Every structure is written in C-alpha cells, then in structure tokens.
Amino acid sequence: MSAQIIDGNLLSQQLRQDVAARAAALTAKGNQPGLAVILVGADPASQVYVRNKVKACEDNGVFSLLEKYQADMTEAALLARIAALNNDPKIHGILVQMPLPKHIDPTKVIEAISPRKDVDGYSVLSAGELLTGLPGFRPCTPYGCMKLIESTGTKIAGKHAVVIGRSNTVGKPMALLLLQANATVTICHSGTADLGYHTRQADIVVAATGRRNTLTADMIKPGAIVIDVGINRDDNGKLCGDVDFAAAKEVAGHISPVPGGVGPMTITMLLVNTIEAAERETN
C-alpha cells in the first residue's frame, strides 16, 4: 500500500490561518507583528527565499521590511543596521538571509541580533535554550518538520527516530526536538559507516543531507514516517529531495514530498516565531 503523503502546503495553510488571527489581534492592540528581512548580495536562490518570506508576511497581516544591500556592504555597516533594528519597536523579528558574502562573519551577524528578535533561532543562546529545554525560538525548518510529524497523528514518544545530517540549522536541532518529544534518537552523518543499518530500524527518518537518493526504499522500515528536508535538482533540472520518493512511498507509512513538504513549513514557522516574538512584547 502506498504511503500517505504529508501535505506541507495544506498544513501550512491551516497554521497560517492561526498566524493571521493572532497577527490581527496584536494589530488591534496597536502592536502589529513585524519582520525585517535583510539580503546582502544577489544570490538568485536567496532572492527567491526572501521574496517568499516577505509575501508570506503580507498575506498574513505581518508587517515586513525588506532591506537589500550590495554584495560589497561592509560587516560594520551590516552590524550597524542590525543594531538599529534591534531598537526599532515596529520590528519583532530579524532575519539575515544566509549565505552572506565571504568577507562577512555569519556568527558575528547572528550574535548581533537581539535574542528577543532571533526568529531564525540560529543564535548560540537560542541553541542553548533548545539544548536545555528552555522556551525559546526553535529553528524554523526542524520546527516545521516536527509539525509535519505530529500531523500524522503518530505518538512520537518511544519511537526510534533517525536524523540524517548534523548541521546547526537542521540536523542537530531536529535531533534535539525529537529527543524533547521523547523519541530515541540516532544522528547519522557523512562519517556514518552503514547508513541503511540505522535507517532500517527507524520509525521516523528525517533526511537532511542535500544529496539526492541518500535514502532509498531498501533503507526504510515498512510503515515508517519519512520527512525529506533536502532541496536538490534531478538530471532534468527538476526539484527533488534526498529521498528516492517514487520507490520510498511504496514502503513508508507517511512521507513528505519535495516540493510541497518541508519548504512551505519553514516559512510558516518563521511567521509563528515572529508572532510569538510580538506577543512577548505585547501586554
């Protein structure tokens, strides 16, 4: 039997209705939630990402401020802009689109964002809050993956979850969120000796490598939940994930597609974090 497709667009729509209602309530109290999006340089993929983020704000009653700068902007000038936005009461969330040009240190930039406005959840403080189980901003992509997993109605506690990938923005926070939900978690990476050995034991697999066909059907336990974070191109230039979707959906119980799975959820969780930031500042 074919897997149930986890529809990230549909779940996003549902969550964005709640976002819009909360945004309207905040606006009625005179504190419309606001997100500043900063893009340095003209990376084509980044331009699409920031456009989508700004549009999602506009569609859901969140004020957005898009600031685009030339690739030769100095690090000092960017840090000064962030300092100004940290003090701007109309702005509750600040997002600096990655990657930055090579002459700018991304860590310095992320750490310059006020912890109250770190809606990407990339700062060391936010990472520490997640690690220690304190409330705080969760990185949007793994946060969205958790919502996708929860949407299947499967109890996460007690399940074996395997996360493939250990980046600071996806793999590691994903593993911590699953741990927090009482899954037993295994983290795999490029040094893992036998990836399939681990994934075949998994009730939940999250693939976040950025490599096509990292997870093939023979590596999936029948009935497992498969979440595909990867964004890749196939030989025909078509968007695809890390999972061999066509074959994997014949084995998995639930599977998220690419596109239409994790992608829309990432932006939705950015909106959720921005609303939460604004709600914290509103009486």
List residues near ligand NDP by CB under 6 A. 141, 164-167, 169-171, 188-192, 195, 208-211, 214, 229-232, 262-263, 266
User: For residue 190, which of 172, 165, 168, 170 has the smallest C-alpha distance?
Assistant: 165
Q: What is the DSSP letter of 29?
A: T
- Whether the bond between 106 and the residue before it is cis, its omega within 30 degrees of 0, is no
- Residues with catalytic roles: 53, 97, 120
Q: Is 123 one of the annotated binding-site residues?
A: no
Please give the Cα distance from 13 to 227 (Å, whole number): 19
Six-digit token string for 165:
């990938």
End-to-end CA distance of the chain: 51
Q: How far is the CB of 244 from ligand NDP (least distance, A)?
A: 13
Tell me the residue type at 213: N
Q: In one letter, which amino acid is 83?
A: A
* Structural element, H or E, at residue 56: helix 44-59
Q: Is 22 annotated as a binding residue?
A: no
Of the two residues 160 and 211, which places its CB atom closer to ligand NDP in the complex? 211
Beta bridge partners of 207: 164, 228
Q: Residues forming the annotated binding site for NADP(+)?
A: 165-167, 231
